[in-house]
Amino acid sequence: MDTATDERAAIARMRSGDIAGLSALVETYQLKATRTAYLIVRDQALAEDITQSAFIRAYERIAQFDAAASFGPWFLRSVANDAIKAVERARRSVPFDDDVDERSSPADTLIDPAQGPSALFEAAEDAEALWALLGRLPARQRAVTVLRYFDGLSDAEIADYLDTPAATVRWRLFAARSKLRIWLGARAE
């Protein structure tokens, strides 16, 4: 599917109950959506499950979709929120400092604020090290990191996706990057 016209036609088919319309949208958005979900939940099977369920929900609720809008953001918003909920559900049984992380200042834990981020990231052995550290972030901080650096969304777009004030998004991004900087610094020592 190359054009907005094709997408509109696919949505019109879905509105008339034709699942072929959904098939076209799956082809267009499945990779981006599954990858976004995977980067948040870090489990491929769960990411696929979340994305499949989101597509089915979109099919069932297509009447609520504003035909003038683009399907992509509407759909990816649903996937991102489901992924966050999945992580939070999984962590509910395990003590985690998500709430504390939201309240405390990242500056409190900075070891060496003067050290440049580039140097610290260069200290990471490879992408695997950074990937492992991303897994230590609380769900919502990880989600805003993924939405910003993988999906390329702005603060305002992330805020809209997650139904959160833009200031909170900026705070979570700042907190996430500060922690990564610290953890990478610790690894380098």
Residues engaged in binding another protein (CB under 8 A):
9, 12, 15-19, 22-23, 26-27, 30-31, 34-35, 38-39, 43-49, 51-52, 55-56, 59-60, 63-64, 66-67, 117-118, 120-121, 124, 127, 130-131, 134, 145-146, 149-150, 177, 180-181
Nearer to another protein, 84 or 120 (CB): 120
Nearer to another protein, 101 or 151 (CB): 151
The CA angle 152-75-13, to the nearest 5 degrees, is 135
How far apart are CB 165 and another protein at their closest, in Å? 22
User: Distance between CA atoms of 112 and 167, rounded to whole angstroms?
Assistant: 25
How far apart are CB 26 and another protein at their closest, in Å? 5
How far apart are CB 100 and another protein at their closest, in Å? 23
User: Distance between CA atoms of 97 and 119, rounded to whole angstroms?
Assistant: 28
Q: Return the C-alpha torsion angle 143, 147, 43, 126, nearest 10.
A: -100
How far apart are CB 16 and another protein at their closest, in Å? 6
User: Distance between CA atoms of 154 and 43, rounded to whole angstroms?
Assistant: 26
The two three-digit tokens of residue 182, written as one number? 């610290």
The two three-digit tokens of residue 8, written as one number? 């509109």
